[in-house]
Amino acid sequence: MPNSIPVPDADMSQTDVTVTLDDRIRLFSAILAATDYPQRSQERKRYHASPHARATLKYLAEADHNNHPAVTGMQALLDAGVTLEALFGLAMGCEFHGMTLRDSPPAWLPNGWLGTTWDFYQKASLAQWWASSPHDKAWEDALTQTRKIFAEVSFKAFLKPFFGDVQETLVVMPNISYPAETEVGVRTSTQLISIVPPPLAWGESNPWPYDEETNVTISYRAALAQYSRLLLEVYLAQNADKVAEASKKDLPVTDQIREKYPTWVEQFTALFISGAVSIYLEDHFSKPEANAFELMERKVRGMTLLGATISVMRRYINEYGNRYHSLADFLSIFPTQLRVAKKIVGN
């Protein structure tokens, strides 16, 4: 397979999402499989990774690739608190052949470590591993299934009232390796990328196919959540004065949310993402899908303010272009409106 595998020929007029695989991501996913990340993620929450992910973990361990400098180096970075977003962002900043950076390295990157990742690719014969049966079919199926479910999905028009015209290409990369339990969002100079695992099933069952009818919105949520987070990151930084003014008023979040998201920006981002995903699901798919998402957000993530958040965000959307011309103008009144909505609609 080449470094970047585009979607098969299709009429893209119905979607603004590009679906692709990328060997830089697959390489870093394989290295991640050889660290203690799979074990630690299981300690946080039990799940069953895809057959390809489990086979990759076993293959690398049996061939004693777990002690390769690429693996021990990534382990050290994870132990130092470097995030998956930072690691996969680093991968996307490289030329694949040789894994050499196009721009200046981040301060946390150890000198020479990137070169070891290319050596790992060669020593572990990853190209042959991915091309072997049944792994080649597993990757191709993931690509085909993801392309199918995003064929008529459009996000940019929905995001416009909040961020204006989104210039970056929206990209989804299906990932049947690691991380197997969470999506990862990465920004490049031209792309917003959501790296998405297949929907997890219960117990010891394999993950669902991406296009399994009752689970497709899991992938939509993963993509939209990461695009929203990446866009908010830049937008709030560009409007730091408006954020500083707005953050003088505390958000009425629970102690559980405050502990998980200590800063005003983190709290706002968490509320915004949950609200945006719920509104999108209701408006573009169905009310039951939105209700199911909201229930999980409340139970699993403690987002008890979600109902009030949705009410306030819908008010902004409805008045966008009239009373409000940008999200930045709305920030200062968001905390007050959220408190009022909490009293009216409850949590």
> Residue 58 above 50 pLDDT?
yes
| Closest C-alpha among 152, 161, 194, 203 to residue 12 | 152
Amino acid in the structure at residue 161: P
The answer to whether 198 and 209 are in contact (CB under 8 A) is: yes
Amino acid in the structure at residue 210: Y
Cα 315 to Cα 160, 279, 294, 310, 333, distances in angstroms: 15, 12, 18, 9, 12
What mean pLDDT is predicted for residues 118-135?
A: 98
DSSP, res 188? -
Band the pLDDT of 347: cuts 50, 70, 90: low
Instruction: Collect all residues with Cβ–Cβ distance below 8 Å to 87 and sequence separation of at least 6.
Output: 28, 32, 74, 77
CA distance 90 to 83: 11
Band the pLDDT of 300: cuts 50, 70, 90: confident
Q: Which residue has the tokens 């917003």?
A: 192
Q: Which residues of 166-192 are buried (b: 16+ CB within 10 A; e: fewer)?
A: bebebbbbbbbbbbbbbbbbbbeeeeb
| Closest C-alpha among 248, 246, 256, 257 to residue 312 | 246
| Closest C-alpha among 253, 241, 224 to residue 335 | 253
What per-residue confidence (pLDDT) applies to 346? 63
CA distance 199 to 181: 8
270, two tokens:
């968490």
Band the pLDDT of 1: cuts 50, 70, 90: very low
| Closest C-alpha among 178, 177, 182, 220 to residue 300 | 182
What per-residue confidence (pLDDT) applies to 4? 46
pTM of the complete model beyond 0.85: yes
What mean pLDDT is predicted for residues 232-254?
A: 96
The residues spanned by each domain of the chain are: 22-221, 239-345
What mean pLDDT is predicted for residues 17-28?
A: 98
Q: What is the full DSSP assignment across 47-75? A: ----HHHHHHHHHHHHTTGGGSHHHHHHH
- Nearest-10 Cα torsion for 25, 130, 212, 227: 10
What mean pLDDT is predicted for residues 241-256?
A: 95
Strand residue runs (E) in the chain: 4-6, 17-22, 94-95, 100-101, 169-174, 184-187, 191-196
CA distance 45 to 47: 6
Percent of residues, the chain, with pLDDT higher than 90: 90
> Residue 11 above 60 pLDDT?
no
Instruction: Collect all residues with Cβ–Cβ distance below 8 Å to 238 and sequence separation of at least 6.
Output: none
Percent of residues, the chain, with pLDDT higher than 70: 96
Helix (H) or strand (E) holding 321: none
Q: What is the full DSSP assignment across 94-141? A: EETTTTEESSPPPTTPPTTHHHHHHHHHHHTTHHHHHHSTTHHHHHHH
